[in-house]
Amino acid sequence: MKLLNAALLRPMALCLTAAIAGPAAADVSELPAEIRDALYNPDFLDPMQPIGQSAYRDFIARNPPPWTIGYASSYAGNTWRAAVMDRLQNEIIPKWKALGLIDEVIITQSNLNDSVQIQQMRQLVDQGVDAIIVCCSNPTALNATVDYAHQQGVPVFSGIGYLTSPYAINSSANFVVGGRMMGEWMANEIGGAGNVLVVEGIPGASASDSQNVGIQAALADFPDVKVVGQIAGMWTDQVAQAEIQRWLATNPGQLDGIIIQSASELGALRALQQSGREMIPFTIGSELGALCYWRNNPDFVSGAIHAWPPGDDFEMIWNIMMRTLQGQGPKVQSILTTPIMMDRDQMMAAIPADCSEQSDQWYHPGIEAWAGKEFLDNFFLRPADPEAYDPASHPGAP
């Protein structure tokens, strides 16, 4: 298959709210056909991605709001996580406190240590939180803890990557689709032939591995594109820069492009600038520094692919969590959206002329463009505006 048509992957028809005609089935067949075809096609889906019926179809929170939420973060050491925390602390928490639906958010950090994250999650459950959000975690390591939380009436929501426990609710872009978009874009960018370096995120994290699956599948359609190296950038610009510089120093041969997962493209830019080599195309996600370089050099590349704008991605799983706590009934285990392609004209309109190539901030398409209310309605049995929820309507309300 050649270049995916991004316009077809995110048609306006995805914003359907009507249910599919005919008897409902407890799987993705309950979703509109446009969503199934674009995001749940087995040919473009990580085979480990859980897409069965959600365990929370009839769930409602054991306590009435305001709720206490645990955020068991696995890492805080890159710009993506910093952008998540900015959205959470400066926008999401104040908004939902003002709505009277949350009391507090308890935040923990495990620094990529699964054992520590497991301990922190169990402590959050024992402290009495009403729900837990995790992010970008190992797909299997947390499963026993997710089961423990479920037994205590605490649902776990995995944002930006999946957990394979049947008691987790997952959300993200379809990262295999995103990886295919990146691989196909690069192959076409270099004319269908050449040598490319692939820079993964954090190997073992589902979001990284799924993107890599898509990249490799796309490149398999271009026999004249050769992967000459594969390294890990750990979704961190400084790490990616150091690893790419090391690779370039020991591999002096021809290199025509770098396929790199965000948040690392600013590291690729800096590594290439300091290498003394001619600038070559690399995939750009949503990091403003790299987008600014493109703005200052409009002919550098033809497009960017927003695979996981951090604030929008986290707000997506937050909104899914709030709907679930309210009893809206998620249909499936994984709620997926589509990466957004940005062309040159869109970039010139979005990125200001006074931008900085050193910026470690992020561009966001916005939650309505990423996974808005009408779009999420398709994934719930009893969809409603979660911001309009009346706490007095909860069965346990006084």
CB atoms closer than 10 angstroms to residue 196: 28
Residue 345, Cβ neighbours under 10 Å: how many? Answer: 9
Residue 224: burial class (beta carbons within 10 Å; 0-12, 13-18, 19+) = exposed
Rg (alpha carbons) of the chain, rounded to whole number: 21
Q: How many C-beta atoms surround the C-beta of residue 281 within 10 A?
A: 18
Written as six digits, the tokens of 224 are: 């004249």
| Distance of alpha carbon 200 from alpha carbon 235, whole angstroms | 8
Pairing of strands 334-337, 303-306: unpaired
pTM over 0.95: no
Is 379 in contact with 391 (CB distance < 8 Å)?
no
**107 - beta bridge partners?**
71
Residue 5 DSSP label:
-
List the pLDDT tens digit at each of the 398 positions of the chain. Answer: 333 333 333 332 333 222 222 223 347 999 999 999 999 999 899 889 999 999 999 999 999 999 999 999 998 888 899 999 999 999 999 999 999 999 999 999 999 899 999 999 999 999 999 999 998 888 999 999 999 999 999 999 999 889 999 999 999 999 999 999 999 999 999 999 999 999 999 998 888 999 999 999 999 999 999 999 999 999 999 999 999 999 999 999 999 999 999 999 999 999 999 999 999 999 999 999 999 999 999 999 999 999 999 999 999 999 999 999 999 999 999 999 999 999 999 999 999 999 999 999 999 999 999 999 999 999 999 999 999 999 999 998 88
Q: Which CATH class is domain 175-306?
A: alpha beta
What is the architecture, at CATH level 2, of domain 28-174+310-337?
3-Layer(aba) Sandwich (3.40)
**Domain limits, the chain:** 28-174+310-337, 175-306
Residue with tokens 């050649």: 2
Angle, in degrees to the nearest 10, between helices 265-275 and 288-296:
50
